[in-house]
Amino acid sequence: MSAVVRRGTRLTAETLCFTFDGREYHGQVGDTAASALLASGVRTMGRSVKYRRLRGVLAAGPEEPNALFTVGSSPTVFPNVCAPQLELREGMVLRSQNRWPSLRYDVASLLQLGSGFLGAGFYYKTFIWPSWHRWEAPIRALAGLGEAPGACELPTVAVEHFSCDVLVAGAGAAGLAAARAAARAGARVVLCEREPVCGGELEFESGTIEGRPALAWIDATLAELATLSARVLTGTALVGETGGEFIALYEPGGLPGANAVYKIRPRAFVIAMGATERPIAFINNDLPGVMLLGAAERFLSRYGVNAGRELVLFANHDRVYAAATRLVVAGMRVRAIVDTRDATGLGPQAARQRTALAGTGTDCLLGHAVIRVTGRGQVRRAVIAPLASPAAAHSIACDTLLVSGGWGPSTHAGMHEGGVTRYEEALGAFVSTEQPDGRENAGAANGLLELSQALADGAGAGTRAARRAGADGDPGTAPLGSGDGAPRLVPFWRSPADRAGEKHQFIDYQNDVNVADLRAALAEGFVDIEHVKRYTALGFGTDQGRMGGLLGAAILAELRGEPLRDVGTSRLRPPYHPVTMQSLAGLRVGARLRPMRRTPLHEWHVAHGGVLEPMDLWMRTRYYRENGPGAYEAGIAEAQRVRTSGGIIDGSTLGKIEVAGPDSGPFLDALYLNKASTIKVGRSKYMVNLREDGMVLDDGIVLRIAEDRFIATTSSGHGAHMLAHFEHYRDTQWSGCGVTVTDVTEAWAVIVVAGPQSRTVLREVLSAQWRQPLDALTHMAFARGTLAGQDLTVLRASFSGELAFELHCRPSISEPLWESLIAAGFKPYGLEALDILRVEKGYLVSSELNGQTTPFDLSMDDLVKHGNHCIGRELLDRPAFHEPTRPRLVGVRAVDGRMAFYGGAQLTTPDQPHRACGYVTSSVYSPTLSEWVGLALVSRAHADGAVLDCRDPVRIGDCKVRLTSIIHYDPSGERMKS
Amino acid sequence: MKGVEQVRHRGLGLVERQTGRVLEFVAFHFPSEGAFVVGWPAAPGAIRHDVQGLSGLLHFAPARWLAPSPCREIAALVAAAEDAATGTCIDVTGKWREFALIGTAAARVLASTLNTEIVLEGRECAAVTLFDCPCVLARVGDGYRIWVRASFAEDFVNAIESLCLPG
Amino acid sequence: MIRLICPFCGPRELREFEFHKTRAEPGSTPYAQVYERVNRLDDSVEHWQHVQGCRAWMLVRRNPSTGLVLETRILGGDHP
């Protein structure tokens, strides 16, 4: 436990407690998990996925590949949380990953002995005998990263869509300069920064800007941006973009799971997301104690944590000397600086710093490289050799090795939608050149690592962005500043090693991909970087190749003997960092997953024991609780009551389309198989739509309201499709003609009053003016009038086979009308009962109108014969539609009246038990006939009266059925037409 | 149909308004410059306000205008257009339910589901989907007028009620 | 999200639109229109509907290989 109160730009003096792997530790408010543990002397923070090698923290940002913790306790656990990003809170519970039973003693680390069998792509080549499945279970148990959370309550996300003139991603030197210039020019600026504070490298790089220390300049700039109404979003990372819309997630405290999701459409976009430092590959470069140079600087300046006591620095650029100077001032001892360049590589500032460091006892080597580090579980010694003669090595005792191989511009935000990059030898990195629609990189993201250049570049990009967005004010002068000098980098990717050593030169820490794996991939014939990536899993982890992607590409290029610019890097895709499903779901969670459509009578059904179920987007009543313990019993009771006296059902979901205009008759003729234009005003007709290939699409009733006005009803399920179908036809073949199409589904509530008593009850409920029209109403005719001042249409039509009336009324009077029908003695029935009634009468629903049946299959030959030229007519006259093997719609009943059969059961003949000659489309228990009845589609070879086997091995077993006419009850239709 | 306040908290009001008759006028031909009388909102997204300043006639879809609770003047305009055989007038009473969304948080509520700036750019009304519900949206003064398709209206109110906005 | 420019509503997110079908080749038989559709790699002419907006039907010319939308115009007007 550290008793010293550390000072850092992110810390306060207040302390807190947390646990890691069951032990209690102390930290300060502002600490991250990584900084507090480092301060407490903890260096091992996890094990690698495959070989279970001990690992420590390598980086100080979201690109950290090793120190991933599980936060919290089941079920609310957050796996794979990046330790350097996770802000500690009092009582936080942390666990390391990829180890069992403990971090120190991990059973699976014995796998390292079998590492020869576990190279890249091992699952294609090994563990095949006797059967992969025997090995699969234990291998899967070892694989994977972290523990998935259980069912837990997560906070709902706030989503915000907004536009702005200029979006600047990244609030480092270049980003702040860009935002300031754009805002001064009058643009609406949004600046987003993934860290909780702005500044980027300025946080530790000792720079001065416009005569002030960098940190003071940052504060002044942010204050100015506030006065210019710029919006600064900290703790907000840009994760991706599609089609000009940028997604940024506000994840405070480094815990995954956004609190807010921003969807931003800027007119212009500046990418100032900096550059990511990369390591160099040498033997055992994954030992705890090996850290990136910039990470050590950040741990020092932000959290007051010393990365180690005896340091060795290994780099290929000038910045290492500036860094070493700062580390020495903080009290760390730099034993050696290993610079791969020769003396001519150094700039004057670096040369001065080097001389000063040498004077204080640091061994400053040029043209050398660290060949390997050794130590049990952490760095103890560094083995260093001259590049000219790698055999002449010597070793130094140390506890920390800080490595830096250079920086790779974070260009991803420009690359997600396609952009072009170019390899810059002076950077040893790819810099983006072409970007879609004028967006630009600025600063380190543009390959400019010097502070003065970054500021100028940022100001220029911000100004150009403001101009593109139409703001032409004065951006002011670009800020002048100076900090660390130019890096003068000479690319260096890996230290010399023999074949055995290459196995421990790690490139991708998260997937344990080493140089030997790259060599193996090449030997297997995987040459392209995209293939190598997928074969070796290079770049697959949570860091998405930020540590090892470029390193891997460079080493691959070396192994291929080609320049790096020809090898390239693999394609970048969003999201930039791991995003939780919760963030993507946004508001569509729980009850808000999908919309729910309600009929005007919905509240009544709910209040009166209706059991509702979703049908597409509608909630429809299946049955009413008072009629039975479940759907089966209640449906039977409700159906029986309709046949004996009557009932009412809410049919408001019925699709209704109003077609109006002088050409509406001919228009409908073209959409239906049978003619609409011959319907008389005041009458309706059962009509069938064909699909363009001749199959039956839908059916419904069309009412002729007036000479130039019809209402076409569709089935509830096909409503949306039929509306689009009508609209499409009107806007293509009938554009400019005198016909309009309007969806009126919700303008009319529909109450079906069915049963022998229906006319009596209606006469009682409707006002006196309706008596005569009701009595005079013949089958398929309708009468229009008003009720309580609102429009009402009474249509005499039946889907139950009983005397029935469809009341189409305005929603505002639907509930009073419904209640008056209840008061008059009718009770409601639901879809379950409706299905029973319609199957008894052989009426069709989507089970029969399934898109695979022709009008001939459905015995609609008459409609075809008298039909007109319509959509689908041409393809109706096909020989294939008249083949003897085409199905025919028939009724079915069990030979033994007590047997049940279900829809979906297959029908076979005894001599061909393995080939279905048909199947049952619908089946119900009929209370009227006291047996199960159904409808089926059966090959024409079988006539009415034939007995077939009804096969249902999975559900209720087999029985014998007889084919009958499709109308099981009241075949002459007397009850309906009474 | 509720004519009462539905949601009121923290700078937000969602109030359902009573509607009387609601008409949709659908034209046979479009684009329709010159086909209508002066004052007819012919441009996409245009609104003709009635004498009380309320939205009288909204051009929310090609060749389709919404007339919610039309006053005598608007009703006469629409009837005249039908008589002139320019199109047909459909009585869609019950299809749309009208809400007023007001308060300082109104804009932020809508921003949860779409980018209002883009959708209302260069127009006074737009056919949109808000919280997965089909709507017609109009900016009115400091707030908004929203016509929601009736079967979705309950869901629309629930969506706004369940929004958890940053304080 | 990628946007389409609805001829009536202006630029809207792609999710508001539904693809219907490619336009039939002019002069093709009914059978060919249903079963012998032509998929063009570079210049696909398609019918889309702005289902979650104004419900306009529109003709969209796109390059399916690059995703670039070349043109959108309304169907159903007097000048098809």
Same domain, A234 and A298: no
Determine the pLDDT at residue A609.
97
Chain C residues lying within 8 Å of A874, measured CB to CB: 30-31
Cβ-proximal residues to A644 (8 Å cutoff; 6+ apart), any chain: A755, A756
| Contacts for A222-229: CB closer than 8 Å, 24+ residues apart | A222/A176, A222/A198, A224/A180, A224/A183, A225/A179, A225/A180, A225/A183, A225/A189, A225/A191, A228/A183, A228/A184, A228/A189, A229/A183, A229/A188
Same domain, A184 and A98: no
Same domain, A540 and A686: no
Chain A residues lying within 8 Å of C14, measured CB to CB: 243
| Cβ pair C10:B121 closer than 8 A | yes
Say whether residue C71 is in contact with chain A using an 8 A CB cutoff. no
Chain C residues lying within 8 Å of A735, measured CB to CB: 75-78, 80
Number of separate domains in chain A = 6
Going by C-alpha positions, the residue among C44, C3, C1 that lies closest to residue C21 is C44
Beginning with the edge strand found earlier in the chain, give each strand of the sheet holding C44-49 in spatial order: C18-22, C44-49, C57-62, C69-74
Same domain, A260 and A288: no
Suggest the residue from B86, B113, B123, B129 to mutate for an interface test with chain C (most C CBs closer than 10 A). Answer: B129
Chain A residues lying within 8 Å of C1, measured CB to CB: 242-243, 245
3-state DSSP: chain A helix, strand, coil percent, rounded to 5? 30, 30, 45
Same domain, A293 and A439: no
Domain C-terminal end among A458, A482, A506: A482
Residues 22-61 (C) with a CB less than 8 A from some CB of B: 52-56
Same domain, A393 and A425: no
B165 falls in which pLDDT band (50, 70, 90)?
low
Going by C-alpha positions, the residue among A679, A642, A651 that lies closest to residue A976 is A642
C33 found inside a domain: yes
Measured CA to CA, the distance from residue A875 to residue A758 in angstroms comes to: 43
A295 found inside a domain: yes
Going by C-alpha positions, the residue among B149, B152, B137, B136 that lies closest to residue B95 is B149
C58 found inside a domain: yes
Cβ-proximal residues to A566 (8 Å cutoff; 6+ apart), any chain: A557
What is the Cα A9 distance to its own chain's centre?
Answer: 37
Alpha helix stretches (DSSP H) within A40-131: 122-125
Number of separate domains in chain C = 1
Measured CA to CA, the distance from residue A753 to residue A744 in angstroms comes to: 21
Between A and C, how many CB-CB pairs are < 8 A?
Answer: 48
Chain C residues lying within 8 Å of A693, measured CB to CB: 34-35
Sequence letter at residue A323: A
Measured CA to CA, the distance from residue B16 to residue A697 in angstroms comes to: 39
Q: At what angle do helices A811-823 and A758-765 cross, to 10 degrees?
A: 120
Going by C-alpha positions, the residue among B66, B77, B67, B62 that lies closest to residue B31 is B62
B1 falls in which pLDDT band (50, 70, 90)?
very low
Determine the pLDDT at residue A436.
76
Q: Is A757 exposed, middle or buried (0-12, 13-18, 19+ CB in 10 A)?
A: buried
Q: Is A239 exposed, middle or buried (0-12, 13-18, 19+ CB in 10 A)?
A: buried
The chain B residue lying nearest A162, using CA atoms, is B115
| Cβ pair B128:C53 closer than 8 A | yes
Say whether residue C51 is in contact with chain A using an 8 A CB cutoff. yes
Beta bridge partner(s), residue C3: C13
Measured CA to CA, the distance from residue A509 to residue A543 in angstroms comes to: 10
Say whether residue A614 is in contact with chain B using an 8 A CB cutoff. no
pLDDT digits (tens, 9 = 90+) for A616-651: 899 999 999 999 999 999 999 999 999 999 999 999
Strands A212-213 and A231-234: what pairing?
Answer: unpaired
CB B149 within 8 A of CB C42: no
A471 found inside a domain: yes
Of B28, B113, B115, the CB nearest to A661: B28
Of A163, A594, A599, the CB nearest to B118: A163
Domain C-terminal end among A786, A803, A827: A827
Determine the pLDDT at residue A453.
95
The first and second tokens of residue A938, run together, are 């059966």
Q: Would residue A808 be called left, alpha or beta, if left means φ above 0 and alpha means ψ between -120 and 50 degrees?
A: beta
Chain B residues lying within 8 Å of C7, measured CB to CB: 62
Q: What is the CATH number of the domain that holds A972?
A: 2.40.30.110
Same domain, A395 and A537: yes
Which helix (H) or strand (E) segment holds residue A451: the answer is helix A451-468
Chain C residues lying within 8 Å of A719, measured CB to CB: none
Q: What is the CATH number of the domain that holds A759?
A: 3.30.1360.120
A99 found inside a domain: yes
Same domain, A368 and A474: no
Measured CA to CA, the distance from residue A650 to residue A259 in angstroms comes to: 42
Going by C-alpha positions, the residue among A391, A207, A204, A221 that lies closest to residue A299 is A204
Domain that holds residue C41: 3-74
Measured CA to CA, the distance from residue B16 to residue B9 in angstroms comes to: 15
CA distance to partner chain C, nearest, from residue A827 (Å): 38
Domain that holds residue A558: 278-406+492-567
Measured CA to CA, the distance from residue A593 to residue B149 in angstroms comes to: 19
Of A692, A730, A735, the CB nearest to C34: A692
What is the Cα A127 distance to its own chain's centre?
Answer: 34
Q: What is the CATH number of the domain that holds A303?
A: 3.50.50.60
Q: Is A605 helix (H, G, I), strand (E, B) or coil?
A: helix
The chain C residue lying nearest B116, using CA atoms, is C12
Q: What is the DSSP letter of A909?
A: B
B3 falls in which pLDDT band (50, 70, 90)?
very low
Same domain, A817 and A958: no
CA distance to partner chain C, nearest, from residue A660 (Å): 16
Going by C-alpha positions, the residue among A541, A519, A542 that lies closest to residue A532 is A519
C80 falls in which pLDDT band (50, 70, 90)?
low
| Cβ pair C51:A724 closer than 8 A | yes
The chain B residue lying nearest C10, using CA atoms, is B119
Say whether residue B117 is in contact with chain C using an 8 A CB cutoff. no
Say whether residue C12 is in contact with chain B using an 8 A CB cutoff. yes
Determine the pLDDT at residue B8.
63
Determine the pLDDT at residue B33.
61
Residue with tokens 């050149």: A433
DSSP per residue over C43-68, as a string?
-EEEEEE-TTTT--EEEEEE-TTT--
Say whether residue B131 is in contact with chain C using an 8 A CB cutoff. no
Instruction: List, for chain A, all residue ranges whose pLDDT scores fall below the cut of 70.
Output: 1-3, 413-414, 417-418
Neighbours of chain C (3+ CB pairs under 8 A): A, B
Same domain, A269 and A284: no
Which helix (H) or strand (E) segment holds residue B72: the answer is helix B72-83
Say whether residue C14 is in contact with chain B using an 8 A CB cutoff. no
Same domain, A199 and A249: yes
C30 found inside a domain: yes
Same domain, A290 and A391: yes
Of C10, C52, C56, the CB nearest to B61: C56
- The answer to whether the peptide bond before residue C80 is cis (omega within 30 degrees of 0) is no
Q: What is the DSSP letter of A465?
A: H
Chain B residues lying within 8 Å of C48, measured CB to CB: none
pLDDT digits (tens, 9 = 90+) for A918-970: 999 999 999 999 999 999 999 999 999 999 999 999 999 999 999 999 999 99
| Cβ pair B26:A738 closer than 8 A | no
Say whether residue B60 is in contact with chain C using an 8 A CB cutoff. yes
CA atoms within 13 A on the CB side of A678: 9
pLDDT digits (tens, 9 = 90+) for A362-386: 999 999 999 999 999 899 999 999 9
C79 found inside a domain: no
Question: How distant, in Å, are the alpha carbons of A334, A362, A498 from that of A495?
Answer: 21, 22, 10
Determine the pLDDT at residue C39.
87
Q: What is the CATH number of the domain that holds C50?
A: 3.30.2270.10
| Cβ pair B31:C77 closer than 8 A | yes
Between A and B, how many CB-CB pairs are < 8 A?
Answer: 118
Sequence letter at residue A644: T
Chain B residues lying within 8 Å of A739, measured CB to CB: 28
At residue A854, what are phi and psi to the nearest 5 degrees? -90, 165
Domains of chain B: 5-18+94-161 (3.30.1360.120), 22-91 (no CATH)
Residues 150-189 (A) with a CB less than 8 A from some CB of B: 155-156, 158-163
Determine the pLDDT at residue A1.
47
Measured CA to CA, the distance from residue A483 to residue A860 in angstroms comes to: 87
B167 falls in which pLDDT band (50, 70, 90)?
very low
| Cβ pair A875:C30 closer than 8 A | yes
Q: What is the CATH number of the domain that holds A663?
A: 3.30.70.1400
Instruction: Tell me the mean pLDDT in the region B146-155.
Output: 97
Suggest the residue from C22, C55, C62 to mutate for an interface test with chain A (most A CBs closer than 10 A). Answer: C55
Beta bridge partner(s), residue A808: A750, A793
Domain C-terminal end among A145, A169, A194: A145
